[in-house]
Amino acid sequence: MQSEMGELYALDFDGILCDSCGESSLSALKAAKVRWPSLFHGVDSATQDWIVDQMHSVAEGLTVEGILENWSKLKPVIMEEWSENRETLIDLFGKVRDEWLEQDFATWIGANRFYPGVSDALKFASSRVYIVTTKQSRFADALLRELAGVTIPPERIYGLGTGPKVKVLKQLQKRPEHQGLTLHFVEDRLATLKNVIKEPELDQWNLYLGNWGYNTQKEREEAAAIPRIQVLELSDFSKKLK
């Protein structure tokens, strides 16, 4: 009976809907130049392009597998060594993005792309769709409208500051209007899906790892061995949404 009532999809944004690697890398470079100007003295545009290319490689899991696999352990060590504060860096990153968006909206939009078939799948989705992302909501909303031609009501976009994804999923499943819906959560980070599995309250969610997202071959193989997780192809994802 459940499936006759309809489907609810909670979707990650970066790495599932949108390939924002280019934009994120450029925003990170712009933020780094603001935060550590002395490091960029004498750094020419060719070197800056090289830095961005290296960030792409790491983000896509094509190289530096060791950094990716140990990032959760490395990050706090690096932050402490550089005496950095997480919230301050997040604020700076958002501010730099806002300035870029205001000053050159077309270039900012153009640095992102939606994965093939995703825009149409969102436009014609018969399921109830929510966005659950660590990106600031205003950026996700702008990209959906301008790049994908999709308008998702703001109350259906859970962005940075709305709490951990586990908490958002709990909120969604408790809503009276969602009772009886089949629940699906699509994510490209294995660690996030593992956090969901740890919560017995979230047992009714169907979990998917998008194999086109920002994950490694090793993570995809690990996910395939976990009964609760289905490793999903991009073409199958677009069909499911419709």
Q: In this structure, which CATH number among 3.60.15.10, 3.40.50.1000, 3.40.50.720, 3.30.360.10 belongs to the domain 2-19+113-241?
A: 3.40.50.1000
| Percentage helix, strand, coil for the chain under 3-state DSSP, each rounded to 5 | 55, 15, 30
Interval 134-146 mean pLDDT = 91
Least confident of 72-86, 109-123, 225-239: 72-86
10 contacts 169 by C-beta, under 8 angstroms: yes
pLDDT at 117: 95
User: What average pLDDT does the chain have?
Assistant: 83
What does residue 143 show for φ and ψ, rounded to 5 degrees? -70, -40
Instruction: Give residue 123's pLDDT band: very low, low, confident or very high (50, 70, 90).
Output: very high
Instruction: Give residue 64's pLDDT band: very low, low, confident or very high (50, 70, 90).
Output: very low
180-195 per-position pLDDT tens digit: 999 999 999 999 999 9
Q: Is the pLDDT of residue 4 over 90?
A: no
What letter represents residue 27's amino acid?
S
Instruction: Give residue 105's pLDDT band: very low, low, confident or very high (50, 70, 90).
Output: confident
30-60 per-position pLDDT tens digit: 677 776 676 666 667 776 666 656 655 544 4
Interval 13-21 mean pLDDT = 91
Interval 6-11 mean pLDDT = 96
pLDDT at 234: 96
229 contacts 223 by C-beta, under 8 angstroms: yes
Q: What is the DSSP string of 179-209?
A: TTPEEEEEES-HHHHHHHHT-GGGTT-EEEE
Give the tokens for residue 16.
């599932």
Instruction: Give residue 81's pLDDT band: very low, low, confident or very high (50, 70, 90).
Output: low
Percentage of the chain beyond pLDDT 90 is: 53
- Within 10 angstroms of residue 97's Cβ, the number of other Cβ atoms is 23
Give the tokens for residue 105.
């909206």
Q: Is the pLDDT of residue 170 over 90?
A: yes
Q: Is the pLDDT of residue 131 over 80?
A: yes
9's torsion region: left (phi>0), alpha (psi -120 to 50) or beta?
beta
pTM passes above 0.85: no
| Better-scored residue on pLDDT, 128 or 45 | 128
Q: Is the pLDDT of residue 135 over 60?
A: yes
Percentage of the chain beyond pLDDT 70 is: 76
Q: Bridge partners of 9?
A: 129, 184
Domain spans in the chain, listed from the N-terminal domain onward: 2-19+113-241, 21-110
Give the tokens for residue 86.
């997480």
175's torsion region: left (phi>0), alpha (psi -120 to 50) or beta?
beta
Going from the C-alpha of 4 to that of each of 127, 181, 230, the distances in angstroms are 12, 8, 22
Q: Is the pLDDT of residue 63 over 60?
A: no
